[in-house]
Amino acid sequence: MTKKRVFITGITGQDGSYLAEFLLSQGYEVFGLVRRTSTLNFERIRHIQDQITLISGDMLDQTSLTRALKDIQPDEVYNLAAQSFVQTSWQQPVFTGDVTALGVTRLLDAIMTVNPAIRFYQASSSEMFGKVQEVPQRETTPFYPRSPYGVAKVYGHWITVNYRESYNLHATSGILFNHGSPRRGLEFVERKVAYHAAKIKLGLINEIRIGNLESQRDWGFAGDYVYAMWLMLQQDTPADYVIASGKTHSIERLLDIAFSCVDLNWKNYAVQDERFMRPAEVDLLIGDASKARAELGWQPQVSFEQLIQMMVEADLKLLKAEHRL
C-alpha cells in the first residue's frame, strides 16, 4: 500500500514537531515547510530529521506554497505556521496579519490550484474568543478577539469555513486552547515559569519578572492536542472543534505549581514587570470540548499539574546538562 503523504507548515514549531512524530508513527510520509534563516532552527525536529523531507518556502510567498503542493501531492495539509506570540502581534500587527491571516488564504488557494481533494487543517485559537461572550467557550460562542494575533486568527478561521462552504473542501478549523510542553517557546508564560523555577532552583538566577498574575488559561499538553488535529482530518465530514481541558488556572496557580515542584515559594522570587503587561487582556479562557469528545472520541490524557511537572523536570535536566551541574 502506498503511504499517505502529509505536508505540515510550522514543522519547526512546538506542535509541528509533535504532529510530525505522531504521523511518522502512523506510517505517513512527512513533508514540512521551513523558511530560510541564516542559522538553522531545527532543535525540535533534529531527532526525526532523517525521516522527514523539508521543503523551503514561506507563508508570505504564494509561489513557494503552490510549488510545494505540486511537488509533494499530499493527502493532508496541516497549517500550523503563524506569528504565534500575542505580545509580538502588537509590535508587528501587519506582519502578523500577513503570515497568520493571509497565509491561510495563500495555502487554501494553493490547494484549490493543485488538488481540491486535499484535506486541510487550520490551527485556530482560543484567543479568538478574547473578551469572552460566554463561559465556557464552545464552537458556537461568538468571537471577540483582543489582539492583532486574535484578529488574524479570526480571519484564518472564517476563510477556512468560507473555502469549505464555497468550494466543498475538506477543510477543518481546530479551535485549540493553550497547550504547552517541554518544547514550548520560552516566551509563553507556562514555559517561562517552568524554566525560571528550574533556573532559580539551580542557583543560576534569583528572580522571575512577570506580568498579569490574574489572567486565566485552560492549558493542556501539546502531544494530546496534535492527536486531536489528526482525528479531525479522519472524519468523513469536515467540521470545527474546540479542543480544551475544561479547567482553567490563574498565572498565580501556575507559579504555585511550578515552584512547588522545586520546593520553593514563588512569592520570594517574582517581580511584577510592566513590560509583560498587555494593551488589552484576555481574562478568562475555559473551553468546552464536549463536541470533540462525542464525535472524535478525544479527551486529554495529561493534566495541568502533570504538564507543569513534566516541563519543570525537563528544564532542570536541560539546564544541568547545559551548565554541567
Contact residues: ligand NDP, CB under 6 A? 9-10, 12-16, 33, 35, 41, 58-60, 80-84, 99, 123, 125, 176, 178-179, 185
Cβ neighbors of 17 (< 8 A, separation 6 or more) are: 11, 44, 45, 48, 183
| List of residues contacting ligand GDP (CB under 6 A) | 86-87, 127, 178, 187-189, 192, 210-212, 215, 217, 251, 276, 278, 281-282
Contact 107, 65 (CB under 8 A): yes
- CB 249 → ligand NDP: shortest distance, Å? 14
- CB 255 → ligand GDP: shortest distance, Å? 10
Alpha carbon of 169 to those of 109, 114, 141, 233, 243: distances in Å? 11, 13, 24, 12, 22
- Select 42 or 85, whichever has its Cβ closest to ligand GDP: 85
If contact means CB under 5 to 8 A according to the sort of partner, which of ligand GDP, ligand NDP, none does residue 106 touch? none
If contact means CB under 5 to 8 A according to the sort of partner, which of ligand GDP, ligand NDP, none does residue 75 touch? none
- Select 88 or 235, whichever has its Cβ closest to ligand NDP: 88
Query: Which residue's CB atom is positioned nearest to ligand NDP?
Result: 13
- CB 167 → ligand NDP: shortest distance, Å? 22
- Select 148 or 238, whichever has its Cβ closest to ligand GDP: 148
Check if 127 is active-site: yes
If contact means CB under 5 to 8 A according to the sort of partner, which of ligand GDP, ligand NDP, none does residue 59 touch? ligand NDP
Closest by Cα among 276, 287, 95 to 174: 287
Which amino acid does the sequence have at 39? T
If contact means CB under 5 to 8 A according to the sort of partner, which of ligand NDP, ligand GDP, none does residue 66 touch? none
Contact 130, 114 (CB under 8 A): no
- CB 252 → ligand NDP: shortest distance, Å? 20
Alpha carbon of 237 to those of 4, 8, 99, 234, 276: distances in Å? 19, 21, 28, 9, 42
Annotated catalytic residue within 78, 149, 163, 195: 149
- Select 156 or 238, whichever has its Cβ closest to ligand GDP: 156
Tell me the HSE value of 144 on the side-chain side, using a 13 A CA sphere. Answer: 14
Check if 78 is active-site: no
- CB 102 → ligand GDP: shortest distance, Å? 20
Contact 240, 172 (CB under 8 A): yes
- CB 172 → ligand GDP: shortest distance, Å? 21
| CA pair distance 21, 261, nearest whole angstrom | 28
Annotated catalytic residue within 125, 126, 173, 245: 125
If contact means CB under 5 to 8 A according to the sort of partner, which of ligand NDP, ligand GDP, none does residue 254 touch? none
Which amino acid does the sequence have at 180? G
Looking at the annotation, which residues are catalytic?
125, 127, 149
